[in-house]
Amino acid sequence: MADSQELRQRWIRRFHPAPDRDVMMVCFPHAGGSASYFQPLSARLTPHAEVLALQYPGRQDRRFEPALTSVDALVDGIVEVLRGQTDRPMVFFGHSMGGTLAFEAARRMEAELGGRLLGLVVSGRRSPGGARQGTVHLLDDAGLLAETRKLQGTSSTLLEDEDVVRMIMPALRADYTAVERYAYRPGPALSCPLHVYTGDADPQMRGDEARGWAEHTRADFRIRTFSGGHFYLGERGEQVVAALREDLTAFQERARTGADR
């Protein structure tokens, strides 16, 4: 069994270490994504928080590990490693599939963190109770790639490279399997604030599916809408960073005053 240091090395990437920051922001990648997706965001946010980006099994330097095919299995691994990172307050930020993982990790960890989970930001992910039936994971490789191109999350040039496709396909299919088979189990709402980020042209996120997140928190709820599609983060990077800085400040102020904001 891996020790805690080995687990951290496998699951967590610190592109810009900042141990003196007052808060850590944990980033949960999208389906088929990797920790490196958040490297630009880490560089811009480091003056305000230490950014930890999660690396799921089956991709990049973990490509020889089997990719996990259920949300529960992914969250099990994430929670185990994050339990060794609780020396400072945390904010969870998850994009697309990562939004579901961040939400489920928050549900599991909020009580034991004792108020040190300052907030959850979910990006490009519809609310759990309103999940649509997905069948992308059942498509052949060509169909799966076509769906990926529609969302424009991976460079079309890269997807023309057979070696790249061969490398990413197992993790991509495993992630779609996990998120499309995910079944929300009702439970208590979170005590921390929950903010939703969405692109105004995102085919994966209708307005009612964004508003549905409101029932999953007893604290502050907010929706921020950006210009762009499912991967608006790349198109509106500066605006997203500005929003995260504002939210990090609000979350920390709420924790200091003990009041919902």
Point out the residues that are catalytic: 96
Question: Is the CB of residue 245 less than 8 Å from the CB of residue 45?
Answer: yes
CA distances from 143 to 30, 80, 138, 148, 162 (A): 18, 34, 9, 9, 15
Indicate left, alpha or beta for 33 from its phi (over 0: left) and psi (-120 to 50: alpha).
beta
104: number of Cβ within 10 Å: 23
What is the rounded CA–CA span in Å between residue 28 and residue 260? 25
Q: Which tokens in the block code for residue 196?
A: 């939703």
| Alpha-carbon span 229 to 130, nearest angstrom | 20
The string of DSSP letters for 156-222 reads TTGGG-HHHHHHHHHHHHHHHHHHHS------PPBSS-EEEEEETT-TT--HHHHHGGGGGBSS-EE
Tell me the backbone φ, ψ of residue 191, rounded to 5 degrees. Answer: -90, -15
* 24 phi/psi in degrees, rounded to 5: -110, 140
Q: List the structure tokens of 34.
A: 């990797």
Cβ neighbors of 151 (< 8 A, separation 6 or more) are 203, 204, 229, 230, 231
Q: Provide the 3-class DSSP secondary structure of residue 70.
A: coil
